[in-house]
Each structure stands twice: as structure tokens, then as C-alpha cells.
Amino acid sequence: MEPNHLLQFLQSRRSMPLKEVRPDPIDPAQIELMLEAANWAPSHGKTEPWRFTVFMGEGRRALSTAFGEAYRRMTPPEKFDPMGQQVQADRPWQAPAWISLGMVTDGKMPEWEEMSAVAIAAHNMHLMATSLGLACKWTSGAIAIHPHVAEVVGLPPSGRLLGFLYTGLPAAPPPSGSRRPVADKVRWVTA
Ligand SMILES: Cc1cc2nc3c(=O)[nH]c(=O)nc-3n(C[C@H](O)[C@H](O)[C@H](O)COP(=O)(O)O)c2cc1C
């Protein structure tokens, strides 16, 4: 691939707010491609610590219930708001596919390396979604990583949930991206 094309493609990847994703179903074959891309992430010692659960269609009901329940568990009783719980339970229905980002390790490699590998897998997935013209975002708030949600996605107690990628057709053009100059983050040592 021509380097500038690759750079432009990387720059075109955006995180899209949930309200800018259409709820219409998408082809599971597109999710398969995203998962295959994820599986080509590097990992130290070839541990391949990424584990995914895909929620689509009616399968999202389990996620909806889990998000609502996680909200209940993490909210002190005096602050519990049924509307707040409903907001969480509604989220899975707003995008046609939700993919949990899980990590399972045998403890032989440092945890930060295993988490890095899962993050790269997630990024590969996001890049494939971009190439498919899908809107996508990694969401990692307190509910998206809650132990109850981790259990529902099928991770073992020793596993770790790092959030979800949701994806679907875009309902709006992507926002423009921006970065502070890379030169501000780099030192060159040449002699
Ligand atoms: C590990 C990780 C966790 C993230 N979690 C959230 C999140 O919980 N909510 C959110 O709005 N965006 C989340 N994002 C997306 C970032 O907000 C987004 O990448 C950043 O604003 C840059 O925008 P871009 O991805 O369009 O370039 C996360 C990104 C990463 C890498």
C-alpha cells in the first residue's frame, strides 16, 4: 500500500458517538472480517489474550439487562434513578452490533503487555470497520467494564473486560479528527 494512502486511511478512522450510529442491522460477515482483523494483532509470546463476544439482534437483550443491572449495582440506593437505569438498558439497542473486548491470560506475561495486545486487536477491528464504511467506537465507562457485565459476556473470573466496540452504519458524517503535532511528543537523538 502506498504510504500516504495508509496515513490518510489511519487519519480517517473516527470514534462515532452512539447517537450517530443507525440501529439498522448489518451483515454478520462484516463483523467476521472485523474479528479476523483483530485476531492478527501481535502479542508477546503469542499469548493472543483477546476474547470477544458479539451481541447482535435479540442477543442484545442480555447486554441491555446487564447494563441496567450494572447501573443498579454501582449506584448507591439513595441515588438510584429508574430513568438512569433505562438509559443504560437502552444503549445496546442503539447500535446493531456490540463486541465485548475481553482479556484472558495465563499470568506468564505482564498484564500491561496483555492489555496492550487486546488494545491493538480492538484497533485492528476499528480499522476494519472504517474500511467497511461502518461507524464504530470503543466504550470503556464504568458500566462497560463492570464485573457483572464481564460475567454476562462469558469471561472467567480471572479475565478482564476492557469495554466494548459498538458498530453500525453511520447516521451522520464523521466528525473531523484532530491531533496536537507529533513533534511535541517526540525527541530525536541522532548523535
Ligand atoms: C482505550 C480507549 C477507551 C475509550 N473509551 C471511550 C469511552 O468510554 N467513551 C468515549 O466517548 N470514547 C472512548 N474512547 C474513544 C476516544 O474518545 C477517541 O479515540 C478520541 O476522542 C479520539 O477520537 P478518534 O478516535 O475519532 O480519533 C476510547 C478510546 C480508547 C483508545
For the beta carbon of residue 76, count every other beta carbon within 10 angstroms.
6
- Contact status, residue 32 vs residue 177, Cβ threshold 8 Å: no
Write down the CATH number for the domain with range 18-57+95-173.
Answer: 3.40.109.10
Contacts of 75 by beta carbon, 8 Å cutoff, 6+ apart: 81, 84, 85
The CA-to-CA distance between both ends of the chain, in Å, stands at 32
Atom number of ligand 1 nearest to Cα 144: 8
The verdict on pTM exceeding 0.85 is yes
Contact 139 CB / ligand 1 (< 6 Å): yes
**In angstroms, what is the span from residue 14 Cα to ligand 1's centroid?**
9
- Please, how many CA atoms are within 13 Å of residue 58, restricted to the half-sphere of its CB? 0
Contact 138 CB / ligand 1 (< 6 Å): yes
User: Tens place of pLDDT for every residue, the chain, 191 residues?
Assistant: 899 999 999 999 999 999 999 999 999 999 999 999 999 999 999 999 999 999 999 999 999 999 999 999 999 999 999 999 999 999 999 999 999 999 999 999 999 999 999 999 999 999 999 999 999 999 999 999 999 999 999 999 999 999 999 999 999 999 999 999 999 999 999 99
Give the SS3 label for residue 188.
Answer: coil
Report the nearest-CA residue for atom 7 of ligand 1. Answer: 139
**In angstroms, what is the span from residue 175 Cα to ligand 1's centroid?**
13
